[in-house]
Structure 1
């Protein structure tokens, strides 16, 4: 064994900077299947977003993918586009006479 302090225990400096679990909101994580149902898209579409970019943020634990419900809600709000279309006459521009 190497000489020096036992690294199995945190030092007082490390403990003073630690965040106590009582101070942190619980993070609700869901599987890709549940996330896809929540977003009303297919699991395949969600995987494509993940692989090509542009999808919701996700966590990867080894080979396991998880999504935060808060991240899913934020991504949905970013997908909002103004609705409606322009009337046909407005798209063509004014008539030249």
Structure 2
């Protein structure tokens, strides 16, 4: 290091000002390949969603991309669509009114 400071570790002043979080669960992060398998889609489809901005939220650490299982579940729930057409009996009853 040029200035002789080891920047991998925080100084006591930095630690004093840090916010400590208690009872925080660690994130369960998976690779894009595992995320695609979890969602039962291809890794290419997941990459297309990511590039077009319509897919699940993701984390980017440098060049590595990771997905949280909770974010994948949330995205799946947002994709839920209402049921198909009404049954024939219901439609004919509504027309009669």
User: TM (normalized to structure 1)?
Assistant: 0.72
4+ residue segments displaced more than 4 Å: none
Match of 1:74 in 2: 74
Give the length in aligned residue pairs: 87
1:40-79 correspondence runs (5 A):
40-79=40-79
Cα 1:11–1:49 change in 2 (3 A) is: same
Q: Which runs of 5+ in 2 are unaligned?
A: none
Residue 77 of structure 1: SS of its match in structure 2?
Answer: helix
Give the aligned partner of residue 38 of structure 2: 38
Name the counterpart of 1:18. 19
Provide the C-alpha distance between the structure 2 equivalents of 1:10 and 1:49, rounded to a whole number of angstroms: 43
Structure 1: gaps (5+ residues): none
TM-score by length of 2: 0.72
| Residue 11 (structure 1) shift | 2.1
Match of 1:84 in 2: 84
Could you tell me how far 1:10 is from its partner in structure 2? Answer: 3.8
CA-atom RMSD in angstroms: 2.9
